[in-house]
Amino acid sequence: MKHLLYYNGNWLESDGNDSISVLNPANGEILDQITYATATDMEKIIMSADKGFEIWSNLTAEERCDYLERLYDLVMAEKEDLARILTKENGKPYPEALGEIYYGASFLKWYSEEGKRINGEIIPASQVNKRILVRKQPVGIVYGITPWNFPFAMITRKLAPALAAGCSFIVKPSEETPLTAIKFFELVHRVGFPPGVVNCVTADAKKITEVVMNSSKVRKITFTGSTQVGKLLMKQAADTVKQISLELGGHAPFIVFEDADIDKAVEGTIASKFRNCGQVCIATNRVLVHEKVKDIYLRKLTEAVLKLKIGDGFEDQVKLGPIINHKGFEKIMDHIEDAKAKGGNIVVGGRRIDSNPSSYFIEPTIIDRVTEEMKMLQEETFGPVIPIITFKSDEEAINIANNTPYGLAAYFFTESVSRGFRVSEKLDYGIVGFNTGSPSTAQAPFGGFKESGLGREGGHFGIEEFLETKYVCLEI
Ligand code: ADP
């Protein structure tokens, strides 16, 4: 079956005939066909969102939040179906996919509450006959571009605050994983949003995004993906001065101090490294361990890594699924080979598991004696690889951690609260995990410093991204 485009409150045919196949990364099987929108389709979708904005922005906050709450209820009722589709097209283990549905749904819930609290201000004036009023208004039509590593949660983390703020929304899911989005839009349809409020376009990202960028009607771009594409979008958005939020790549350090609880640190490393097989922007990309505790940490980490089962995400006890595609696989193997050639020592893993020529499974890997000139210390590996570096002082660890153009997430483990405060204040990162490898949650701000992005998703910070501030000056 070929899936259609969703706009004007309905599933509609494309103007053209293009479609692409969606593959199961665990075995290379074709799962389905999706429509590829044309530029004309995209213009119609923008018109749909324009009409949707007119209706939606004039509803009360409570009415809007009721829709979001109904959507949350439907997602919860259909969570297993959503998770099954997610595992099929993304490869992550089914329990992890289900976890993503809960996580994604939590944004619908959170913003169905937060949307009622978009307050203005009355500021004391310096003249007796003046009144200074400040109100928040929705920014307008929002275009969201989402990646394949969280096919569900990256949509709701954008859509929920945008709708709660009073914006209409167009999402372009990743071409690798559009089926979760399509299933989600079946639920959107059942909720019965006014036509044009929520729209879904599957398309050649570059072609379609150009149409969006040329439209002065679309006022906000919200993107999760690579730094390279994020920079391009920022340039393109300049012509019509669109607002832009970017959640880009990371190069997360994971610091184990000499006073860390080693078992807890190992648990944190596994959680932050192997979720979605390391294909996560906040995944640990390098471990910095104090030389005094290196041996014990490495021994315990190796034991834990050797227990991880790799395979099809529907198999029992599987913790690591496949790599999403050949491009991702090549990059990871290139980083491993580069480290080996430059003197890195493979402690465990390092190879492809060759069960099927159309799928890419890589052993969870630990590499010791990693040095600055290796690619894995310069770039995001996006795979199940842990490079180990040692340090002697807090200052050295912080310098190594901050020596990168990225600034998304950093983690550290110490039993000293004073050291913890000092270190968390020095790290140039938007998200800091202090004795935890799992910081993400709906009410907290998620986003990066430096080349890891602009803006925040989550909590009351996330809704601000979709609001304009209007100042009304009244003379009485
Ligand atoms: P990755 O390499 O991990 O797939 P990308 O940044 O290429 O990361 O992709 C993330 C999202 O950005 C996907 O939805 C993809 O379709 C979209 N995308 C890729 N290139 C462009 C582009 N030139 N313009 C707009 N969106 C793009």
pLDDT tens, 382-440? 999 999 999 999 999 999 999 999 999 999 999 999 999 999 999 999 999 999 999 99
**CA torsion angle 63 65 68 73 (round to 10):** -100
List, in order, residues 6 or more apart from 120 with CB less than 8 Å away.
Answer: 133, 134, 135, 136
Query: According to the model, what pLDDT value does residue 3 have?
Result: 86
469-474 average pLDDT score: 98
Residue 419 Cα to ligand 1 middle (Å) = 39
Atom of ligand 1 nearest to the CA of 173: 14
Using DSSP's 3-state secondary structure scheme, residue 276 falls into helix
Atom of ligand 1 nearest to the CA of 210: 24
Q: Retrieve residue 144's tokens.
A: 């969201």
Query: According to the model, what pLDDT value does residue 356 have?
Result: 84
- Measured by CA distance, the residue closest to atom 13 of ligand 1 is 174
Banded pLDDT at 2 (limits 50, 70, 90):
confident
- Measured by CA distance, the residue closest to atom 7 of ligand 1 is 226
* Segment 59-118, tens digit of pLDDT: 999 999 999 999 999 999 999 999 999 999 999 999 999 999 999 999 999 999 999 999
CA dist 387 to 81, 251, 350, 429, Å? 37, 12, 11, 20
Task: Indicate whether 357 pLDDT > 90.
Answer: no
CATH number of 2-248+452-475: 3.40.605.10
* Segment 248-272, tens digit of pLDDT: 999 999 999 999 999 999 999 999 9
DSSP assignment letter at 451: G
Query: According to the model, what pLDDT value does residue 179 have?
Result: 98
Using DSSP's 3-state secondary structure scheme, residue 139 falls into coil
* Segment 378-388, tens digit of pLDDT: 999 999 999 99
Domain ranges of the chain: 2-248+452-475, 252-442
* Angstrom distance (rounded) from CA 156 to CA 200: 13
3-state helix, strand and coil shares in percent for the chain, rounded to the nearest 5: 40, 25, 35
Residue 111 Cα to ligand 1 middle (Å) = 26
Choose one of 229, 280, 281 to mutate for the ligand 1 pocket test, by most ligand atoms within 8 angstroms of C-beta.
229
pTM higher than the cut 0.75: yes
Q: Are β-strands 130-138 and 467-475 bridged in parallel, bridged antiparallel, or unpaired?
A: antiparallel
**CA torsion angle 463 432 106 385 (round to 10):** 120
DSSP assignment letter at 283: S
Query: According to the model, what pLDDT value does residue 355 have?
Result: 75
DSSP string, 375-444: GGGTS---SSEEEEEEESSHHHHHHHHH-SS--SEEEEE-S-HHHHHHHHHH---SEEEES-S----TTS
19-44 average pLDDT score: 96
Atom of ligand 1 nearest to the CA of 228: 6
* Segment 296-334, tens digit of pLDDT: 999 999 999 999 999 999 999 999 999 999 999 999 999
Residues of the chain with pLDDT > 90: what percent?
98
DSSP assignment letter at 189: H
DSSP assignment letter at 149: S
Please state, rounded to an integer, the average pLDDT across all residues of the chain.
Answer: 97
* Angstrom distance (rounded) from CA 381 to CA 409: 15
Query: According to the model, what pLDDT value does residue 428 have?
Result: 98
Residues of the chain with pLDDT > 70: what percent?
100
- Measured by CA distance, the residue closest to atom 24 of ligand 1 is 206
Residues labelled as active-site residues: 247, 281
* Segment 167-210, tens digit of pLDDT: 999 999 999 999 999 999 999 999 999 999 999 999 999 999 99
At position 240, the amino acid (one-letter code) is T
341-350 average pLDDT score: 97
Q: Which residues line ligand 1 (CB under 6 A)?
A: 145-147, 172, 174-175, 205-206, 209, 225-226, 229, 232
At position 375, the amino acid (one-letter code) is K
Burial of 343 (0-12, 13-18, 19+ CB in 10 A): exposed
216-233 average pLDDT score: 98
DSSP string, 30-98: EEEEEE---HHHHHHHHHHHHHHHHHHTTS-HHHHHHHHHHHHHHHHHTHHHHHHHHHHHH---HHHHH
At position 39, the amino acid (one-letter code) is A
Task: Indicate whether 1 pLDDT > 70.
Answer: no
**Four-way CATH pick for 252-442: 3.20.20.70, 1.10.10.60, 1.10.10.10, 3.40.309.10:** 3.40.309.10
Residue 39 Cα to ligand 1 middle (Å) = 17
Atom of ligand 1 nearest to the CA of 175: 16
At position 137, the amino acid (one-letter code) is Q
Residue 143 Cα to ligand 1 middle (Å) = 13
Asked whether the beta carbons of 251 and 404 are under 8 A apart, the reply is yes
Task: Indicate whether 366 pLDDT > 80.
Answer: yes
